[in-house]
Amino acid sequence: MNILSIDADNWVAQGLSALMTSQHDQVLTCVSINDARRILTYQHADILVVELKTEEDNIETIYEFLRLTQILYPQMRIVIFTEITDAALLNFFVNTLSSITLLKKSSSLASIKRFFALPMESVAKTPMRSAATSLSPQEFKMLKWFSQYSSQQEIAFKLRLNNKTISHYKRSIYIKLYCKNNVHFHDCLKRYGFNSMD
């Protein structure tokens, strides 16, 4: 089995190498999505392991890469290791990407090893969660805009939307991510890999 890990600090790849005992298992590692694209051009991978946010890539970049990967390599299993716990964001990934598995970085070694030992056919899709607690695709896209511009008026102007529409998106995202104020909201955006203008 070939496993490709997008992992800036190599911890995931080292852990997977230690867990995989078969001589036929190979763990390839790279630090960014661009590196992964180059590797996938020349090397077959059965499983792609990625973090939701890396040193070089934010969650939006990773989401777009995973969408494209599922189209180009439909038989590849995709595993997302994450320490992000925001249910609305995780539900967005589960609800919009088919056949992904979310594993918390705090998962036990036994459960991780069991997952990787399972044959492809027996891995069920991560169960769907309530759509009510999931970011919508438009709300997900708005995360980037909120991190780049300081005012809702600027965003409304750039997107050619009404300021009240932008306000609605922001209020909805606040509720779903349990943000109490702008400081907490921008802390969330930084955790997701967006570099705020502040």
Residue 160 lies in a domain: yes
- Quick one: 156 and 180 in the same domain? yes
Positive or negative, the CA dihedral 41, 46, 50, 52 is positive
What is the mean predicted confidence (pLDDT) over 3-10? Answer: 81
Which CATH number does the domain housing residue 174 bear?
1.10.10
Domain end point (choices 75, 104, 128): 128
Taking 50 as the threshold, does the pLDDT of residue 109 lie above it? yes
Per-residue pLDDT band for 128 (boundaries 50, 70, 90) equals very low
Express each pLDDT in 67-98 by its tens digit: 999 999 998 989 888 888 888 999 999 889 88
- Quick one: 34 and 124 in the same domain? yes
C-alpha 126/C-alpha 93 separation (Å) is 10
Residue 28 lies in a domain: yes
Residue 77 lies in a domain: yes
Express each pLDDT in 38-74 by its tens digit: 999 999 999 898 988 767 778 898 999 999 999 999 9
Q: What is the pTM of this model?
A: 0.82
Residue 111 lies in a domain: yes
What is the mean predicted confidence (pLDDT) over 25-36? Answer: 86
Total of domains in the chain: 2
C-alpha 104/C-alpha 114 separation (Å) is 14
Domain end point (choices 82, 101, 128): 128
Domain end point (choices 82, 105, 128): 128
Cross-strand pairs, 51: 81
Residue 146's domain comprises 137-191
Residue 196 lies in a domain: no
- Quick one: 65 and 144 in the same domain? no
- Quick one: 173 and 96 in the same domain? no
Q: Percentage of residues in the chain with pLDDT exceeding 90?
A: 39
Determine the pLDDT at residue 149.
85
Per-residue pLDDT band for 121 (boundaries 50, 70, 90) equals low
- Quick one: 41 and 81 in the same domain? yes
Express each pLDDT in 139-166 by its tens digit: 999 999 999 887 999 999 999 999 999 9
Hey, is 11 helix, strand or coil? Answer: helix
- Quick one: 162 and 102 in the same domain? no
Determine the pLDDT at residue 81.
85
Q: Which residues of 47-69 are buried (b: 16+ CB within 10 A; e: fewer)?
A: bbbbbbbbeebbbbbbbebbeeb
C-alpha 142/C-alpha 123 separation (Å) is 32
Which CATH number does the domain housing residue 111 bear?
3.40.50.2300
Per-residue pLDDT band for 179 (boundaries 50, 70, 90) equals very high
- Quick one: 104 and 39 in the same domain? yes
